[in-house]
Structure 1
Amino acid sequence: MFEQYHTNSLLQKFFGLFIGIGLGFCLQKGGVTSYDIIIGQLLLTDFTVVKVMISAVVVGMIGIHLMKTLGWIEFHTFPGSIGSNVIGGLLFGIGFALLGYCPGTVAGAIGQGQMDALIGGAVGILIGTGIFAHFYPIINSKVLTIGTFPVETIPELIRIPRWIVVIIMILLMIAVLQCLPVFGL
């Protein structure tokens, strides 16, 4: 169904830009491009970010698995490891704590004209990416392969159909949303 998008580079870029602008719009409207909301999340006084992200995961999970079931897309998973999760989590966490934005929210904040996001975020992302790229061969051979996971997906790990996992995860996420204190949303 979507074969024409795989062969047309310009069309892929257009859709990527369109979806990116849509994501930024949704992040801004959800309030998660606000430094105060993000700091409130880090201080556990405002759960807007968690609510928006859980909602996005639920919608994405349903959409991706529906498209997979209809044969519109293919999964392209990659093996993970404890080492890659630790490195990724540390880099993400350090950047998030220092700047008060994650990569998605920093792009939305730049889009709404926040100079701290532009200077600190964009410059930080570029410098961090350059440092990681420089050290990637060493990190890849010595850290990213530590504790390689035996399978690539949760349904493979627990040996049940993926739709059952999707339904269980959606129910768990809805339960978490119901238990969060009511603040920003």
Structure 2
Amino acid sequence: MNLVYGLITGLLFGVFLQRAQVVRYSKQIGALRLLDMTIVKFMLSNIFVAMVGLYALKDFGLIHFHLKTTALGAIIIGGTLFGIGWGILGYCPGTALGAIGEGRIDALWGILGMLVGAGIYAEIYPWIKTYIIPLGNYGKITLPQLLGINHWIVIIIFGICCLGLFYWFEKNDL
């Protein structure tokens, strides 16, 4: 049943990506050039909704988090590679799949890159596990745990910051 839930939420997310037009190459390049914040607004909205939903489910005892280790070395390297790929291709992984769904075959390069990258990662994982993951390893911790405050305070502050950013983006026509 978990696979069915994953399929349904993945399809819905894809529909929302398409409807928000964030799979468009022009929106991707606009975001990278800080000229069009549609993607930023879309993702911040999704993150906020997910935060509220997941922590509500956790508070009601319906789910338990299985956190990954916070390893800054791996996060920085992975984020850099993600950004380089996005900058070169003009699509991130999710939007590349959405663009293919709309018939834009140039996004196949992104899918090919993801597959090659996954293969390379799998081959060098023992080295990564030994040398990269231990760099800046803070264990399995969340931001509220790190700050020592209730998660709802973090969520409310994040929501207020999002609203402030959205207002600023609209005011500056971004």
Smaller-chain TM-score bracket: over 0.9
Q: Deviations over 1:66-121 (max 9, x none)?
A: 1111111111112212201111111211111111111111111111111011x201
Give me the identity figure in percent.
Answer: 40
Q: Name 2:83's counterpart in structure 1.
A: 93
Supply the RMSD in Å over aligned alpha carbons. 1.3
SS in structure 2 at match of 1:91? helix
Tell me whether 1:167 sits opposite 2:156 in the alignment. Answer: yes
SS in structure 2 at match of 1:138? helix
TM-superposed CA distance for 1:43, in Å, is: 0.9
- The 5 A counterparts of 1:71-82 are 71-82=61-72
Amino acid at match of 2:20: G
SS in structure 1 at match of 2:67? coil
Residue pair 1:54, 1:177 contacting (<8 A) in 2 also:
no
Q: Deviations over 1:120-162 (max 9, x none)?
A: 0111110111011111111121112111126611111111111
Q: Name 1:52's counterpart in structure 2.
A: 42
In structure 2, what is the Cα distance between the partners aligned to 1:19 and 1:171?
A: 26
In structure 2, what is the Cα distance between the partners aligned to 1:69 and 1:132?
A: 36
Deviates more, 1:47-56 or 1:71-80: 71-80
Q: Scaled by the length of structure 2, what TM-score is found?
A: 0.93
Structure 1 stretches of 4+ with a deviation exceeding 6 A read none
Segments of structure 2 that go 5 or more residues without pairing to the other structure are none
In structure 2, what is the Cα distance between the partners aligned to 1:66 and 1:76?
A: 16
Q: Give the one of 119, 125, 143 matched to 2:114.
A: 125
- The 5 A counterparts of 1:1-185 are 11-117=1-107, 119-149=108-138, 152-180=141-169, 181-183=172-174
